[in-house]
Chains A and B, each alone.
Chain A
Amino acid sequence: MKQEFRKAEDFIIDPCFCEYVLQQKDQDEFWSSFIEHHPNLKSEFEKATELVLMLNSAQKETLVIDKQAELKRLLHRINQPSKLILLTRRVSKYAAVFIAVVLSLFFLYQFDAVKYKSYSSTHLNQSVFLDDSTNVILNSFSSLQVSRFYGFFNREVKLKGEAFFKVTPNPNKKFQVKCNDCNVTVLGTQFNVNTTPNHTQVSVKEGKVAFTSKAEKQQQILTKKMHASYHVGMGMELHEFDINAFAWESGEFVFNDQALPEILKLLEAYYKVDFQLENSSFEAEHLSFYVSKMSLDEVVSLLENLLPDLEVERKQGLYILN
């Protein structure tokens, strides 16, 4: 005997044994004599017989496939001159996923949150630099939306509130500010846009600007030191240039015989504080002076010097004038 038999698996592994079991050769003397000589292995022998019979009762599942059609497909394929790799079914899955992704991106693009990048300022000014180094300074409580494709085809932003723009010149890509009712289109210049619902004002510091209303398609070309406004229902109007139009951003004020309440309002916009006039007798006061980037304390002491009766009291960001 070339192999030792101790356990069922030893029998099952042996091809001669399997043959013996499957063909039921009772006359196979080797195995009958083997059992007679090894009665202690009888139970293992029987177990092995059972397992072999069971494993060999394995049956093949029935298939319903048109083999001839598959053969035809194969022959058609190999007889074609081109080396077309058959991936249609597998590729179609990826194609479906790809289309779904494109569709969902398109769908998402309908939302402003995806289409635009937003900046908004709190009570302080915020300076925003766009990709082409155009600088936008947002006044308090204003917001700016910049298209995700800014700079690809054109340069487009949306504004709510007030902002001063220093646009980097680029004759190929116009820069456009979209407001509720108006558009402001430029190539490269510095200008101020102030929007409130139904009212838009544009002041130009440098260069040339096209100011267009959406409803009437009214257009006004503005150049240096021009100021125009648009009121829904009233149309567009040219105004005298306000020398302090950029003061909220630049901190340069020129007051020429101006009433104190107006002066205080402009100062509030730059210094981000609130002034309160307690004594109404000051409301009639007219002052002339020039301020250039002074600190708030300097401005307050200047006011106190100009108006000897005035006393300024400070209470948590609120300045009370007595």
Chain B
Amino acid sequence: MAISDQLIWNKIQQGNQEAFSLVFIDQYDDLFRYAKRFEKDEAIIKDLIQDLFANIWQKRKKLSSVDNIKAYLYKSLRNQILNHHNSKRLQIVSGNLSETDFLFYTDDFNQEEPFEQQRKKDLIQAINELPARQREVIYLKYFQGFDTEEISMILNQNNQSVRNNLHRAISKLRQNMVLDVFVAAVGVVECL
């Protein structure tokens, strides 16, 4: 994987538009989904992705070699979106993310899996109670399938703090979900 990524990147740097187009088509949907988590305006997302690829093409000869194209694209797109937001909002939000970014929705989890719907709602609620930064880690890990090393590259954090964030997030998820069951049980007892 890493070797083929390097090959493709080299081709792009040499000016091969076919390789470039291939990467664009290959990554477009996932990049779009990722962007959608912090920018609701689809027209702006389209423009930002256009800008991202156009910039890469323009500066291709000056760019260093990349051994993970997907993570590289995510990192660049993330910076671009946050720059766009900062210039628009003119205010500093915690860790550059706004608390409304990376919210999860009921459609996000497969409805046909053999779990109670209520259990899934609990999970989504518990996720949405996490700080945005932890939600983003959860998203990158479970929706985009990145490992912690790749996530640390995208978020520009060291591997250990990504692991800590993930650990903390899951710990909170587990507590919140157990707590909900507990509250439900207490409710039943009180009714009796």
Contacts and interface: CB of A to CB of B under 8 A. Distances in A.
Contacts of B57: 78
Q: Max chain B CB contacts within 10 Å: which of A8, A47, A73?
A: A8
Contacts of B119: 54
The A contact surface, by secondary structure, is: helix
Given A59-B109, A77-B54, A7 B32 contact: no
Sorting the interface of chain A by its residue count into under 10, 10 to 19, 20 to 34 or 35 or more gives 35 or more
B147 A15 contact: yes
Contact of B113 (A8, A13, A54, A89): A54
A70 B58 contact: no
A58 B138 CA distance: 10
Contacts of B167: 9, 13
B146 interface: no
B46 A70 contact: yes
Contact of A59 (B53, B108, B171, B178): B108
Interface stretch (A61-69, A243-251, A301-309): A61-69
B54 A74 contact: yes
Contact of B142 (A7, A8, A58, A74): A58
Contacts, number: 103
Given A71-B24, A78-B58, A13 B166 contact: yes
Contact of B123 (A9, A54, A59, A65): A54
Interface string B40-83: 00111011011101100110000000000000000000000000
Closest 8 CB pairs of A and B: A57-B110, A9-B170, A57-B113, A9-B171, A78-B57, A55-B142, A58-B142, A59-B110
Interface of A: 7-9, 12-13, 15, 47, 50-51, 53-61, 63, 65, 67-68, 70-71, 73-75, 77-78, 83, 85-87, 89-90
Given A60-B29, A74-B24, A78-B53, 5 more contacts: A53-B113, A54-B123, A57-B110, A58-B108, A71-B21
